[in-house]
Amino acid sequence: MAPQAPWRSLFQSHLTQNSSTSFTLSTVDHDSQNRPVPRSRTCEFRGFWPSPQLHDQAVEALNSQGIGQNPAVYESDMISLTTDIRMEKVGQLDSSRNVVEGLFWLADAGNQWRVKGEAFVIGDPKGGAHEAAARKEIQTGMNVTGNDADVSGWSWERQVTTYFANHSPVMRGSFKNPSPGQPRSQEPVDPSLKLGQKVDDLQDSVARANFRVVVIRPSEIERLDLSDLQNVRRVRWTFVPENNTEGQGEWVETELWP
């Protein structure tokens, strides 16, 4: 099993002590002249894949609907969030070779964390080549912590459902909203798409068709420590992959002038 990344423990500690775990996610888009343009939005950190911190209602919903939880046989240093497949960022990832940057300002710790890497989108109920390719990329960053029997009982579908369950019924219902970004004057053709719905069924076909989990595989992490303005520190960790291996390598730490 690969060791935990050297930045992970401190980053996780700062996330835990901060009152908010929202961050800015930036992707690359292209304008009408095919010039690259940045696109940013605020997202919510959903834990390190595949280990979201489940609330009691999520556990109850998973158990009562006969789904249950995956055995805890994997861990990773990859960041997870959730999205709607109809959001523009999904297409932007496809058209820019999955590059992203996430920026966390953790005010309670006085630290800024910058995460650069590639993001992969999973959760398509129909499966297919795109889903399989994304899972393969994510798998390279996953470390096995359990035995073979437990690994065989772990499923991607159940893990995506676990993330869906960890949303409130109202948030689950947001995946049955009209298509994001479309003019409000245009009524949806599908009558099942409307605002303010609650979803209790974790396998709701309409909501699940739109729900996705995004997993960021980091290649560079940078910390800017502003907790002491007389001694500001800036540190960068860069992942250097081993030759001819999938997901293996080491993190190289460099201290920078702030």
The answer to whether 178 and 194 are in contact (CB under 8 A) is yes
CATH class of the structural domain 8-169+212-256: mainly beta
In terms of DSSP H, where are the helices of the chain?
Answer: 8-17, 56-64, 88-95, 129-139, 148-152, 156-165, 169-173, 205-210
For β-strands 249-256 and 233-241, DSSP reports them as: antiparallel
**Rounded Cα distance, 21 and 218, in Å:** 17
The domain ranges of the chain are: 8-169+212-256
Which residue, chain included where needed, has tokens 């992969």?
120
The pTM (predicted TM-score) of the whole model is 0.96
Model pLDDT, residue 104: 99
- pLDDT at residue 244 is higher than 80: no
pLDDT tens column, 52-85: 999 999 999 999 999 999 999 999 999 999 999 9
